[in-house]
Structure 1
């Protein structure tokens, strides 16, 4: 397969040209060779790399995490256990976010249950509780 233009790579990988330029600036995608007229020419394996980046983002890895995973992938001393430990850390981060979101949902449900939705704005129990929290934290 021949080298790909930035548009061809974007189309094949299912991303935008701007996304590819961003990945390039972030160091996630190697700077491609250029034609004499200045057009980027990506090797065919770039499609796989961009899809890897996209999939890693979908499962919660940050761009920094992804950069580290890509670097580890190139390191001959990296073991599968190294990658697994990063996945386990990401699971722990996700679990923490879930607990935080559950706490937020519970607080909002409690406030919404206190409010009948009727009456004057000055008597709104949701606003009163938010004011009370501000006083307790301030």
Structure 2
């Protein structure tokens, strides 16, 4: 007899991985999770490896990896391709740092525009609106 961990329905898999059933189906459609065979007249069953895989995908998403990048990481999961995984991780880190830099520039620009709004309340035109209407 199979281990009860290998007898999970899709609902039980979703609950164990802390996602909803539609997430499981989406991961199957995108190839991130395989769909087990359906026994004749039966219900598909999932196991502990499926729970681990869904949790891996969730953890990678929290770190900002795209679904395509996650698929690449999953192909490197045999323990022998750490250098390739590191390269993907370094690329993602560079991406994150660039976005942080962009967000800091946006923060400064917005703060300056809002300061202009506060310092010239009697002005007819709003400096923020003017800046957004002006040339890029």
Q: TM-score, normalised by structure 2?
A: 0.87
Corresponding residue for 2:92? 90
In the TM superposition, 1:33-52 aligns within 5 A as 33-52=37-56
| Residue from 55, 60, 65 that aligns with 2:64 | 60
After alignment, is 64-73 or 35-44 more displaced?
Answer: 35-44
Corresponding residue for 2:74? 70
Cα offset, 1:32, TM superposition: 1.3
Corresponding residue for 1:81? 83
Does the aligned pair in 1 maintain the 2:76–2:82 contact within 8 Å?
Answer: no
Cα offset, 1:31, TM superposition: 1.3
Q: Mind listing any 5+ residue stretches in structure 2 that lack a counterpart? A: none
Number of paired residues? 131
Distance 1:124 1:38 in 2: 66
Does the aligned pair in 2 maintain the 1:24–1:30 contact within 8 Å?
Answer: yes
Q: TM-score, normalised by structure 1?
A: 0.86
| Residue from 7, 15, 31 that aligns with 1:3 | 7
Alpha-carbon RMSD:
1.8
